[in-house]
Amino acid sequence: MRKVGFMLYPGYSAMSLVVSTVFEMANLQAGETLYGVHMLSVHGGSIRTSAGFQILSDRFSSEPLDLLVVGGSIEDPPPEALALLRQAPHFARRIAAPCTGALILAEAGLLDGRRATTHWMYARGMAERYPKVKVEEDRIFIADGPIWTSAGMSAGIDLALALVEDDLGIEVARQVARKMVLYHRRSGGQSQFSTLLELEPKSDRMQAVLIHAQRNLASRLSVEDLAEVAHLSPRQFSRAFQSETGQSPAKAIEHMRLEAARAMMEETNHPIDLVAQQTGFADRDRMRRAFIRSYGQPPQAVRRAARA
């Protein structure tokens, strides 16, 4: 059985506790206790979370951990917690920090010289405060040796699913994701940002257009096609779309295609020509130009970076 410890301290992020559900579901899926989840603190006892409720914790012992999970906090962790955390590599095989837990690892010096990520709102400040940390602010999660960090909120679930996949294989991770009514985990290299979220259309009509486009990226998706979905003339549609999203229809569709193509390049071994066709770029040269324009590197470099 793999022992998983959650390191608690006053103000501990209640959202970070959601990560424990992934290990619970893995046990249910296997029909046996593969993960033993324990709430731990420096002195043991009741710990107040960021949401105000209390969690009963056990006192840290010298017993080895397969995984130590360090979540964020609305308060600075006490010095004794940081001192214990600095010793964590000696008793924990892996250390994972969802969201702003990465800031606590950085404060303890555990991220010096390592790649790490955190919630996009705090990434820039983290890079400035901890210059020895190689902060990559637009990543869902990063595994650098035994240290795993993730972006904010739901990205902690992607991180936990990746840990389960690392332990038990991809099929178990998929089954756990299904039980949690989730799409299978996002890849670590995937962007924290979503084109659909960034566009934020104000009307149901434009939202329906974007959903249609996302489901039909391999199609032509001309302004005329999209205007027909919106039940507007092409001129009315272009004007309304620009007003609601701040982008032209062509630019928005290109961003959606880039997002889909990048995910395929990072998560599959599909040939570049096939990726270009399935995401509507038609040919690899057009997709290559779009990648360089947006990401500063060609699709092959994105795939190599994800593999690395």
pLDDT of 85: 95
Domain annotation for the chain: domains and CATH numbers: 2-179 (3.40.50.880), 195-307 (1.10.10.60)
pTM of the model: 0.66
Given this model, what pLDDT does residue 181 score? 76
pLDDT (tens, 9 = 90+) of the chain, 308 residues, equals: 999 999 999 999 998 899 999 999 999 989 999 999 999 999 999 999 998 999 999 999 889 999 999 998 888 889 999 999 999 999 999 999 999 999 999 999 999 999 999 988 888 899 999 999 999 877 888 999 999 999 887 889 989 999 999 999 988 988 998 888 775 555 555 555 566 666 777 888 898 898 899 889 999 999 999 999 999 999 999 999 999 998 999 999 999 999 889 888 887 889 999 999 999 998 999 999 999 988 888 999 888 877 76
pLDDT at residue number 266: 81
Q: Which pLDDT value is given to residue 259?
A: 87
Residue whose structure tokens are 């947006």: 294
DSSP readout, the chain?
Answer: -EEEEEE--TTB-GGGGGHHHHHHHHHHHHTS--EEEEEEESS-EEEEBTTS-EEEEEEP-S--EEEEEE--BSSPPPHHHHHHHHTHHHHEEEEEE-TTHHHHHHHTTTTTTSEE---HHHHHHHHHH-TTSEE-SS-SEEEETTEEEE-STTHHHHHHHHHHHHHH-HHHHHHHHHHTT-PSPPPTTS-S--HHHHH--SSHHHHHHHHHHHHTTTS---HHHHHHHHTS-HHHHHHHHHHHHSS-HHHHHHHHHHHHHHHHHHH----HHHHHHHTT--SHHHHHHHHHHHHSS-HHHHHHHHH-
